[in-house]
Every structure is written in C-alpha cells, then in structure tokens.
Structure 1
Amino acid sequence: MAGGSEWRGKIQKFSNKIQKNIYISSISNGLMALMPILILGAIFSLINALRIEAYQNFLTNTGLKALTSMPMTVTTDLIAIYATFSIAYNFATQKKQQGFSAGILALMGFFLVTPKGVLEDGATAALGYSWLGAKGLFVAIIIALIVGTVYNFVLEKKLYIKMPKGVPPTVEKSFAALTPGFLIAILLLIIAAIFRATPYENMHEFVFNIIQTPLTSLGGSWWAMLICVFVIHLLWFFGVHGTLVVYSVVGPIWVTLGLENLEAYQQGLEGTNIVGSPFFPVYVLVGGAGATLGLVISMLFAKSKRYKTLGRLAIIPSFIGVNEPVIFGLPLVLNLRLMIPFIVTPIITSGLAILLTAIDILPVLNGVQVPLGIPIIFNGWMTGGWRVGLFQILLIAISIAMYYPFFKKADAEALVEEQAVESKEQAVQAQA
C-alpha cells in the first residue's frame, strides 16, 4: 500500500500542476463559464430544428420559425466573442487583477485581428458571422491569453498611469488599463499586418488551417477519445478528478467539434464529428465516471446490508451522472478488486458507440450540450434521438455484466463480515 500511496501522491502532484497552470486553467474555467450560453443555444437549436415535418410546418406557417432561430445567432454563433472575454477575465482574476478590463481589452484585440467585410454601399464595414462562432474559437483563446499576459505584466510591474490620491477607485482602474490597452492595440495591429502580408491574409485563416483543423482532426479521432477515457479513469482510480484534468487540455477541441455538429443540425444536416463535447456525458458517463450505473444496480440486489444501503442511496444520483457516493463511499479509489471494470467499462461503452456510429447504426450526435442533471436515456434522446436512448439501455446492461462478477465476491465477503459481527453481538447479549 505504501507504493500505491507514493504513486497516488505523484499523480496528484502532476495533475495539480496541469490544473493550476494559469493558461490551461484560464481556458478551462473560461469555457466552463460559457455553459449557460452553450446550453441555451443548444436547447433552442433543438426546439428550432426538431425534425418533425408537422412541427416544422407549424413554426413556418405561424412565423415562429424566425423567432426560434434567433437565440442561436446570439449564443453559439457568437461563441468566440463570449470565449474571448471569459478567458481573459479568468486569466486576470487568477492573477488578482481586474477581470472586466482584461475582458474588454481582449474583445478589442479579437476585433482588431478579425477581417471585416464591406456592405453594398461600399463604405460601411461589417463583421461577418464566419469567424465569430466555432471557427474563430482558437483565435479567441490565443488573443485572450495574449491580452491576459500583457495586461497582467503591465499592472504587476506598475507601468501604468498613476492617479493622485482621492481619485475614485473606478477612475483609477480605468486609467490603469489605459497603458496595457495601448500596448495590446499596437501588438495586435502588428500581428494583423504580418498576417495580411501572408497568403492567409488574416490570423483567423492561418490559425484555422494550420492549428485548429489539425488539432480538431487529432482530438476528434477514435483513438484520441479512447486514450482520454483511459487516462481519465486511471486518474480517478488514484483519487484525482480525471475529468477535470483531461478536459482542461482537450476541452476546446471537443467543444469546437460539438459546435460544428450543432451548426450542421441547425441547417437540417447530420454532423460529421463522431467525437465531440456531448459524446462524453452520453456514452462514457453511464452513471458517472467509470460507467458505474451497472454497479449501483447490482448493489440494489446485494446480500450485505452495507452495499444494499449504499446502492439505495446512490441509485438516483447515478441516473443523472453523479456517482461520488460510489467512488468515495464504496470506495472505488485504490480498490484493486474493482479497478478492471472501473477502467475497462467506459472504454468498452465509448468504443462500441464509436464503432456503431461509424457504420451508421447510431446517428452522429447533434452537438446539443447536455447539462449535468439530465437523466441517462433522456440525454441520449436529446442528442441523438430514440436510437441513442435505446443504445444507452444496452450500455447499462453492459455495465451490469462488467461489474457484477467482481462485485459479487466483494458482496459475499461483506456478508461474511456482517454475519460475524452479528454472531459476536448475539454472543455478548447471551452472556449478559
């Protein structure tokens, strides 16, 4: 056990370094803060694009179609703008600086490097939606981190304009942001000029073709997803929140892939990305990390009081993907007996989902961001229709089949222990 504790300490130390890295945590926290926007946009996409002919005719004939399509244009279609502000804001606040000013300056920087079109009058410049949504997300991340770094450096070194005593704090903070604002504007104008002199013409085209497309192709591959699933559950086994650690790194890729599918769904088309942000809660978290819903169901039929009680407490949370009572209450952490099903089961469920989607038995998930708390089967229906919901029932059965043989032995041992304790108590009472 000493060796296990040593390994656990090393892994926790390494994962903490990843999570506490200012750049990774700013991206992760910034994107997590956008969940209300992503979920609202996804739900209205579902309402607007629900593929029922009579329903679509009703929306069109009543004029509601124009209204139900509006929320997407100001949520998911503008996700790069929201991300720019949110990531820069998180970067600054982690450095104990004013986040609002950093967010505003980041927005200015994003617009400086974003190409503008010209309207028919020949004089009015306009921003198209092309780079404001998922296609512009990586530029948004880069700009937010550049602005956050410059902004923090200037304020930490106190290189800004200092106001005399008695000036209100709001005015002082505004003037403090003036110096980094000038530096950021000049820096990003230089960057925009450099890209204008290249065949790509702007930063967005360069990042999308050279960085974003290869990364999303890599992160959206079946083997990358399976590796992520393995690492997540290996970390969980050692008591580290593997989902948070891995999502901090691959979150931007999965979100981008999910939004691309959502955009296709809005247009009445099927997405092309098998892997994306909805994939994980629908196919991997079958009852939470480790796909433990089958284990919890098995505990409902346990012979020992200990496991039967825990199963009753955990069954409802497990249906909505919350299984901390099982992970830490059973426990599954450092539990060598249940290590194999805990790590292997989610690999099987996700691998089977990838295979069946690739051969068109399952549909590509539509990109709807499923909030925590939506029960399994229902969240599958939301993201892929009845076939996905039905497939999740099969995944629950697989989870039961994987966990039951390992759990049965643990349950038998617990029953023997309980019977020994009862026998001892009865002996004491008889002597009394």
Structure 2
Amino acid sequence: MMKNLEKFLNKFLGPMANWMNGNAFFSTLAASFMRTLPITLGVSVLMIIGGFPVLSWQTFLATSQLNVEFNAVIGASMNALSLFVTFNFAYLYAKRFKQNGLTSALIAITSFLMLMPQVVQVPALKETLTKFPGTATVTAINSVEAFQTTYTGGSGLFVGILVAYLSTKLFIKLNEKHFVVKLPDSVPPMVSEALSPAFISIFIFIVFFLIRLSFHFTPFGNIFAFMTNLVQQPLQAVTGNPWGIIVIATVTNLFWFFGIHPSMVLGAASPILYAIFNENINAYAHGLAIPYLMTAVVYVATGNGFGGQGGTYGLVFSMLGVKSKRYQQLVKLELIPAIFNINEPLIFGMPIILNPLFFIPMILSAAVMGLSAWGMATILHVTTYFATAQLPWTMPGFLQMFIYGGWKWLVIMVVILLLNFALWYPFFRIADRRALLEESGVKESEANVTK
C-alpha cells in the first residue's frame, strides 16, 4: 500500500514538487520560512512557560503583571514574523541572482513598513482604571504613532511576501540596467557599495509610496485591510454551523500551507464566531440547551488544541518511529512544544509549508477531524459543553476536551487522534524514507531500481 501511495504521489504531485523546487519564487519562499526556525524554536520554551495551562500560574502572572513580560517574547518573535520572512525572502532572492542581498533586504523591509498603518487611536481616560472590568470617562482620542503587531505578525505575512518579491525584482532589474550611482575607483569599496544603489532605492520607495497613496483613497484605507476583507466577505456566508467551521479550518490550513498565516483567516472570521459562541455562553449561564453545540464540538476539534494549526499531533506521533537523522533531531526538539500546540518548528522546519508531500494531509485534516468529532458527538449523544471556559491555546488537547465536556469528549479525542495519525503516517513515512536515502547518498531512482 505504501509503495502504491508513493507511486501515486510521484505521478501526480512529483511534477508539482519538481516545478516548485526549480521555481525561484517558491524555492526562495520555502527557504525564507525555514530560516525562521531558530526563532520559532528558540522562543518555544518561553512560550510554554508563559502559557502553561495552570490557573494559579496564570493568575499569578496576571496579578504580578509578569504576563506583559512573557507577551513581549511573543511580540519579538511570532508577532514579528512578517518582518523576518520579508527580510529573508529579499535577501535570498537577490543572492540567487548574484545581487547584494543585504541591501535588497533592507529596501524590502522599508517598503513593507512604508505600506503599514502607523497611527493607533488611543482613548484618553478621565479616571485611572485600577480594576478590570471597570468604567471610565473618555475625554479625548489621541493619535499615537506606532506599528501594530497585527501587521508585523502573521496577518501581514502575505503582504510582506508580495512586497519582498516586487521590491527585489525591481532591485535586480534596475541593477542589471546599471541604474546605479557610478563612483570613481578612488572611492573606498565600502562607501561605493553603500552609495551605488541610491537611485534604485529612491525609485522603489516612490513605487511603494504610490501604492500606499492609492489605497488611502479606497474604502479600505490600506493594503492590509484590503487583503483581510478579501478573506472576510466569503467567510461570512459559511459560519454558524459545523460545515462552516470545517470550511473555515480547511481554508485556514490551505492558506497556511502556502505561507499565509492562520490569523488572517481566523481574524476575519472571529467577529462572526464570537457572536455565535456568545449565545452558547449565555445559554450555559442560564441553564439552557446550548444552541450551537455541534458547531462548538467541531470548532474545538479543528482548532489549535491538537498540536497547532493543521492538527499535527498525528504527524508528531508518526515521527516517534523515525529512522532518518534529520527527523530524529527535529522530533526531539518539537515533541514538547507540540504537546502545548506550538507547531511552528514543524511548519517551517520540516517544512510543511510549500511541501507537496504534505499537501494532502494538511488540507484533509480539518475535514477528517471535524467530521469524526461531529459523528462521534452524535453517536455518544453529547449534550454537555462548558461554554464559559476560556482556556489558553497552549493547553494540551486532552485537557481541553476533558474540561469542555468530560469523558465523552475524551472519547471523541481518542477517535480523532487515531484518524489523524492514520492520515499523517503514510506521508511522513515517505518523507522519512526520502531523507534516509538522501543521508546515505543514494538517489531515490537508484533505490527503486535495486528493489
């Protein structure tokens, strides 16, 4: 069966993989994400400590305001992901065409920040709030100049990639056309290298300023809001039922596969989902039947509680029997973070992003998990749901399921994990085999011939 599956993947996904590996854009993009692995993996321990799902610990962090310090770790890493990827892409793409990668990367970062909203509206309060929730009189609205982590993080990732690609293409083309400042040979090389691309940077910045200006005169106000609305409008038609949740989760995984952060989809869907689950909370608080019970079951089953976005618990469990040295090291580093639903090291380090081999499990995981949870909840006649529970996203899935609904929800999780494992396992086996052949210096075609 494994051989037949591998033949199928080689026949239908092999050409796509070869094209993506040979394509300058996709291969550079994959490398750009992989280069963020030291950051995503490096902060995972601090993220686990800060989000450790124990109520007394979370209460202590909140009362001592140490949660602000742990949030700074996320702000400096995951909430700056777009900046890292933009820089990496521009640098690697320019180096690929034998151009100055550092200068290209700095121009790309500047262009990206230039497009970003840089004013935050902050209310001025007459009274000082000492407790939350509380009330205070708003006396004025102040405009504060700042970059929002909403845009420097995952929500700005797609825009960052487009900016890096466009700015670097312009940088390469203009360099090839010798649109540079020519200085005499007597000028020190360091000075000459710094001044040479001055005309190019001026031209590129004017282009992106015009782009910023053009979006200013649209109803969206900026390119980031434009991209968000492109996602939000279609999602409004499908939310509110289990099928809608499965569609949202599938679209989220699809976007994540292509490097568009889940927050872009989930952020657009959140206002609608909050309205739906607020009815669940009110019903639970008044002892009434939960109106969106099955929607909640599917939402929890397809969320981050099963190893992060994409439901990668099954992939991690598949890696426990790994043979290649590459994945042996990766599973050692990722096992603990994965339990707490931090799977960025897998997404970027394996990588799952833009890896055709993992396209099928990444896209099907939401449907498999959501439909199995829905079916099991129906079979077990699930009627309980602790709707008022506000659990941290780092809480392991089995704890989430037990708190939300007791033993029946735990049974649902066991079924989900078995199916999730069955979905990921054959694809990882193929990846592990290929990595093992690569480490042994044997080409895959030669290995097939010797069999």
Q: TM-score range by the shorter chain?
A: 0.5 to 0.7
Q: Which of 298, 304, 312 is 1:282 aligned to?
A: 312
1:201, distance to aligned residue in structure 2 (A): 1.6
Does the 8 Å contact 1:366/1:383 carry over to 2? no
Q: Which of 221, 226, 241 is 1:206 aligned to?
A: 226
The TM-score normalised by the length of structure 2 is 0.55
Bigger-Rg structure (1/2): 1
1:188, distance to aligned residue in structure 2 (A): 0.6
1:152, distance to aligned residue in structure 2 (A): 1.3
Structure 2 counterparts to residues 5-404 of structure 1, below 5 A: 8=10, 12-41=14-43, 43-117=45-119, 125-210=145-230, 222=246, 250-254=258-262, 274=302, 278-280=308-310, 282-285=312-315, 287-288=317-318, 317=328, 320=331, 351-355=367-371, 391=413, 395=417
Q: Which runs of 5+ in 2 are unaligned?
A: 125-140, 239-243, 274-280, 282-295, 334-357, 404-408, 426-451
Which piece of structure 1 moves more, 28-37 or 200-209? Answer: 28-37
1:23, distance to aligned residue in structure 2 (A): 2.0
Paired residue for 2:132? none
CA displacement, residues 161-201 of structure 1 (integer Å, 9 cap, x when unaligned): 23322544432332232222111111011111111111112
Paired residue for 1:233? none
Instruction: From the superposition, tell whether residues 191 and 11 of structure 1 become closer, same or farther in structure 2 (CA, over 3 Å).
Output: same
* Paired residue total: 331
CA distance in 2, matches of 1:8, 1:92: 31
Instruction: From the superposition, tell whether residues 158 and 104 of structure 1 become closer, same or farther in structure 2 (CA, over 3 Å).
Output: same
| Local SS of the residue matching 1:130 | helix
CA displacement, residues 288-315 of structure 1 (integer Å, 9 cap, x when unaligned): 48xxx6xx6xxxxxxxxxxxxxx9999x
Which piece of structure 1 moves more, 8-17 or 135-144? Answer: 8-17
Does the 8 Å contact 1:81/1:140 carry over to 2? yes
1:81, distance to aligned residue in structure 2 (A): 2.2
Does the 8 Å contact 1:155/1:176 carry over to 2? no
* Residue identity in the other structure for 1:130: T
| Local SS of the residue matching 1:320 | helix
Q: Calculate the aligned-residue CA RMSD, in Å.
A: 5.5
Instruction: From the superposition, tell whether residues 58 and 221 of structure 1 become closer, same or farther in structure 2 (CA, over 3 Å).
Output: closer
Q: % of aligned pairs identical?
A: 19
* Residue identity in the other structure for 1:48: G
* Residue identity in the other structure for 2:92: N
1:318, distance to aligned residue in structure 2 (A): 11
Instruction: From the superposition, tell whether residues 345 and 80 of structure 1 become closer, same or farther in structure 2 (CA, over 3 Å).
Output: closer
Which piece of structure 1 moves more, 174-183 or 184-193? Answer: 174-183
Does the 8 Å contact 1:28/1:248 carry over to 2? no
CA distance in 1, matches of 2:251, 2:118: 40
| Local SS of the residue matching 2:185 | coil
CA displacement, residues 251-283 of structure 1 (integer Å, 9 cap, x when unaligned): 32458568999xx9xxxx998893679344624
Does the 8 Å contact 1:115/1:202 carry over to 2? yes
Instruction: From the superposition, tell whether residues 354 and 251 of structure 1 become closer, same or farther in structure 2 (CA, over 3 Å).
Output: farther
Q: Which runs of 5+ in 1 are unaligned?
A: 230-245, 297-310, 323-341, 369-377, 404-432
Paired residue for 1:334? none
Does the 8 Å contact 1:116/1:125 carry over to 2? yes
* Residue identity in the other structure for 1:73: G
Does the 8 Å contact 1:349/1:395 carry over to 2? no
Instruction: From the superposition, tell whether residues 401 and 38 of structure 1 become closer, same or farther in structure 2 (CA, over 3 Å).
Output: closer
Instruction: From the superposition, tell whether residues 259 and 357 of structure 1 become closer, same or farther in structure 2 (CA, over 3 Å).
Output: farther
1:45, distance to aligned residue in structure 2 (A): 3.7
The TM-score normalised by the length of structure 1 is 0.57
Does the 8 Å contact 2:87/2:105 carry over to 1? yes
CA distance in 1, matches of 2:92, 2:27: 8
CA displacement, residues 396-422 of structure 1 (integer Å, 9 cap, x when unaligned): 69968999xxxxxxxxxxxxxxxxxxx
